[in-house]
Structure 1
Amino acid sequence: MLENYLKECLYFTANRLSRIVAKMAEEEFRISGLSPTYAYLLMAVYDKEGISQKELGEILHLNPSTITRFIEKLTAKNLIYNKVEGRLSLIYTTEKGKELEETIYKCWMNLRRRYSDILGEKEGDELTLLLDQVSNQLENKE
């Protein structure tokens, strides 16, 4: 009976999925020397050099204090630097950070390929889009 409750519980099933996918991501991103979240932050900076901390938080759905902590960590690793312009703190990659770009995208592709091999590429893409839509719906309802 409890097993049925758990299978029908969004909280439980979402957390289970999160743990499984997080483990896969950590394994795939290991060669970059970064956790997946740090790598995704760098991907956002690659996409838009001079991105603001606020934009990073919005893109990655992370609180400002978390973004600040991540930026401090990546700055300490000499992968990014921030330049203050007025009231904005803008983030750029260093040469060392740029050198990781190919590796990080390879890790991302390996992760995508890994779950696509299990779920099917179309099904994996559809599930990802559905989860994004559901997350947006639930986030906007609170």
Structure 2
Amino acid sequence: MCNGNNGNEQECMLNGCLFFSTTKLARAFGKIAEEAFKKTGLSPSHALLLYLVNQTGSIHQKEIGERLHLTPSTITRFVEKLEGKRLVSKRTEGKNVYICTTEDGLALMEEIIKAWNILEDGYKDILTEEESGQFIRISNKLLSKLNNQEE
């Protein structure tokens, strides 16, 4: 419990703040994820997008944004980078843009899956499976409520 008499009021306030705590956690996870994905030659975000494309074979660019909760401009940048490495290709049908798998992209799947497993193993020793599930459920509930407020 924080009170004004402990001389650490500001630190206490920060650690009790959901925004500060989740931002701090995201940065810590980001560092661990970058290390885990180093062997793939991709950032974790690029690898996740490639994984999604490889799982579907072909996916509408708009759907990628919806599923990964990224803006259209971010998706465009990510796709351009992956396309430059020949890991995905674009197919246009009228106004619709589809992102498709390539042989090079599919060849990276094993490394991407290994990286995700390394990342997951990194926090399995910290949280139990039940705690991880609770954290994910609470996070998804919060995200859902916050996203509904934006609309």
Indicate the TM-score class for this superposition, using the shorter chain for normalisation. Answer: over 0.9
Q: TM-score, normalised by structure 2?
A: 0.90
User: C-alpha distance in 2, partners of 1:20/1:69?
Assistant: 24
Q: TM-score, normalised by structure 1?
A: 0.95
1:111 and 2:119 equivalent?
yes
Letter of the 1:43 partner, please give it: Y
* 1:67-78 paired onto structure 2 within 5 Å: 67-78=75-86
Instruction: Pick the structure with more helix per residue.
Output: 1
Which of 125-134 and 74-83 deviates more?
125-134
User: How big is the shift at 1:33?
Assistant: 0.7
Matched residue SS, 2:92: strand
Matching residue of 1:125: 133
User: How big is the shift at 1:94?
Assistant: 0.9
Matched residue SS, 1:26: helix
Matched residue SS, 2:91: strand
Which residue of 17, 28, 39 maps to 1:31? 39
Matching residue of 2:27: 19
* 1:49-64 paired onto structure 2 within 5 Å: 49-64=57-72
Letter of the 2:102 partner, please give it: T
Instruction: Output the aligned Cα RMSD.
Output: 1.0
User: How big is the shift at 1:128?
Assistant: 2.1
User: How big is the shift at 1:126?
Assistant: 2.2
Letter of the 1:73 partner, please give it: K
Superimposed CA distance per residue, residues 57-92 of structure 1 (whole angstroms, 9 cap, x where no aligned partner): 001100001100110010001100010012111111
Matching residue of 2:149: 141
User: C-alpha distance in 2, partners of 1:89/1:118?
Assistant: 41
**Rg: which structure is higher?**
2
Unaligned runs of 5+ residues in structure 1 are none
Matching residue of 1:85: 93
User: How big is the shift at 1:106?
Assistant: 1.1
